[in-house]
Amino acid sequence: MREEDLLINRLKHYGKTGIYPFHMPGHKRLKWGEEADGRAFYQGMEFPNPFEVDITEIDGFDNLHHPEGILKESMEWAAGLYGADRTRYLVNGSTSGLLAAVCGCVHWGERILIGRNCHKAVYNGIYLHHLQVSYVYPQSTKEWGIQGGILPEDVEKSLKEQPDIRAVLIVSPTYDGIVSDVGEIAKIVHRAGLPLIVDEAHGAHFRYSEIFPQSALELGADVVIQSVHKTLPSLTQTAVLHMKCNGPDGSAYMDMEAVERYLHIVQSSSPSYVLMASIENGIFQMEQLRRKDGMRKFADSLLEMRESLSAMKNLRLVGRELKGRYGIFDLDPSKVVISTRYASFDGEGLSELLRKQYHLEMEMCGADYVTAITAVGDSKAGLERLRAALLAIDKEGFPSGKMELQGREGAGSDCVYAIEAKTRCSIRESIDGKTARIPLRESAGKISGEFVYIYPPGIPLIAPGECITEQLLEVILDYIRKGLPVQGLSDQTLETILVSEQAI
């Protein structure tokens, strides 16, 4: 390999390109000492040469897997800030927290109820722990093409019909900032004597400004996993897991020690002190901002940009007018979701245009929308670049050429994650059973032996053990044609798929 092709040199080169990041992590690659609105928290938080502070469990620096000193005190401090009874630092991302929560809250082979729009990590936990799974589905937002919220009544119905469910897990907010009625769902789940786990990976910032929704931890959730790197000034791969005792007698609805035990299994036995310091420092700096009203400039700039974008004609901003519809209890305004349903290009087309012509990199694109993640690390100038670019693109017209897609199944129709899965066997039975490889185009009616998803957001379009319907196959093939990042298939050419032999 040539020296210039090493990853470190590619990263250095990319940092000089001038491409503005509307994606995670939340520090937005700010150069130390750079002056920008809302960024005072960077003063004094510079990391030195990482090799100078990269240590192991030496005397005086505690042990994440057996905390007794500074790490124990740090996590107790974080728990107090967030209102948790226990908080644990995660150096393997929210993925490790989700795996530990799933395995720790539900015994081997039992049943869990999850939102069908959960991240692939949840499904991997189900596979590893041999669990049975039932789904509750997000509502479809019809013409918007994004997933809506989870209805409390749907959770209640599932719990009544399936009394063997042992825990409930939902994602709120979604990748696109959609928040479900976590408070009401928590009441329903607790009446059944069960724990509610909330994947709040995209909501670590909620407690820091009035413009954001309430955190699931405040609304009664028992286990909450947050990715601090997504929206706080912390390094990639950093997250936290919170646990809270919500029982009427002050007890917990889950076995906290079991969750801790699985954390020791799924987390590295050599946790990075640089990453742990980043978690602590990011939370500390956000607390300083909150206390000094330092979030106000960012919030004002964000809301001003959203107000301006709400006037677009061809592109459409997903806004608070959706509250109260499609199971949407609230929306996170820091997720700027732009629908292309009424423009003449799709989500990938808009994402590419923003990248190549305006040097703005989005977090993700779907078939008919793009999502930009904003965070306190964004400057007013950066937000203005996004605003100006979207208004310029919208002004050029692009009269709708896509209205005929609205009635067609697949891309351009209702949210794919709201389509009811036809489960034929468990995830474990399908993955570990005998499989055969067949052409993807000929797989309709077969039982999938592997996952198919777009990454991001990493939500399975099809999970192992589910029937590949004509409708879902059309969606997948359409996504492939559009160049969306279809992943999960072991055949990276996307030509074939593994299916259960019992379906051959």
Per-residue pLDDT tens digits for 235-280: 999 999 999 999 999 999 999 999 999 999 999 999 999 999 999 9
CATH fold, domain 296-407, is Aspartate Aminotransferase, domain 1 (3.90.1150)
Burial class (CB in 10 A: 0-12, 13-18, 19+), 18: exposed
> What's the pLDDT at 412?
43
Out of 61-75, 284-298, 381-395, pick the least confident: 284-298
What would the pLDDT profile of 125-180 be if each residue is shown by its tens digit?
999 999 999 999 999 988 888 999 999 999 999 999 999 999 999 999 999 999 99
Question: Where do the structural domains in the chain lie, given as residue ranges?
Answer: 52-286, 296-407, 421-503
DSSP per residue, 243-301: E---STTS--SS-HHHHHHHHHHHS-SS--HHHHHHHHHHHHHHHHHHHTTTTHHHHHH
Question: Strands, E, within 16-119: which ranges?
Answer: 20-22, 86-90, 111-115
Specify the pairing of strand 364-365 against strand 369-373.
antiparallel
When the pLDDT of each residue in the chain is averaged and rounded to a whole number, the result is: 92
Cβ(90)–Cβ(267) below 8 Å: yes
CATH fold, domain 421-503, is Molybdopterin biosynthesis moea protein, domain 2 (3.90.105)
Kindly tell me if the per-residue pLDDT of 410 is higher than 50.
no
Q: Is the dihedral of CA 124, 127, 131, 135 positive or negative?
A: positive
What is the identity of the amino acid at 86? R
Can you tell me the distance from the alpha carbon of 460 to that of 452, in angstroms, rounded to the nearest whole number? 6
User: Which residue in this structure is represented by tokens 């310029």?
Assistant: 392
> What's the pLDDT at 288?
87
- End-to-end Cα distance, the chain: 45
What would the pLDDT profile of 338-352 be if each residue is shown by its tens digit?
999 888 889 999 999
> What's the pLDDT at 291?
84
What is the identity of the amino acid at 87? T
Helix, strand, coil % over all residues of the chain, rounded to 5: 40, 15, 45
> What's the pLDDT at 351?
96
Kindly tell me if the per-residue pLDDT of 446 is higher than 70.
yes
Interval 440-452 mean pLDDT: 97
Q: What percent of the chain has pLDDT over 90?
A: 81
Q: What percent of the chain has pLDDT over 70?
A: 92
Specify the pairing of strand 111-115 against strand 132-136.
parallel
Beta-carbon contacts of 369 under 8 Å, excluding residues fewer than 6 positions away, are 144, 145, 146, 176, 318, 337, 338, 339, 340, 341, 347
> What's the pLDDT at 398?
59
Can you tell me the distance from the alpha carbon of 205 to that of 225, in angstroms, rounded to the nearest whole number? 12
Peptide bond into 233 cis (omega under 30): no
**Which residue, among 501, 413, 429, has the nearest Cα to 463 in the 3D structure?**
429
Kindly tell me if the per-residue pLDDT of 415 is higher than 90.
no
CA distances from 19 to 39, 357, 366, 371 (A): 19, 10, 21, 16
Kindly tell me if the per-residue pLDDT of 35 is higher than 60.
no
Out of 44-48, 64-68, 388-392, pick the least confident: 44-48
Interval 375-396 mean pLDDT: 94
> What's the pLDDT at 42?
55
Kindly tell me if the per-residue pLDDT of 37 is higher than 60.
no
CATH no. for 52-286: 3.40.640.10
Kindly tell me if the per-residue pLDDT of 321 is higher than 60.
yes
> Higher model confidence: residue 158 or residue 43?
158
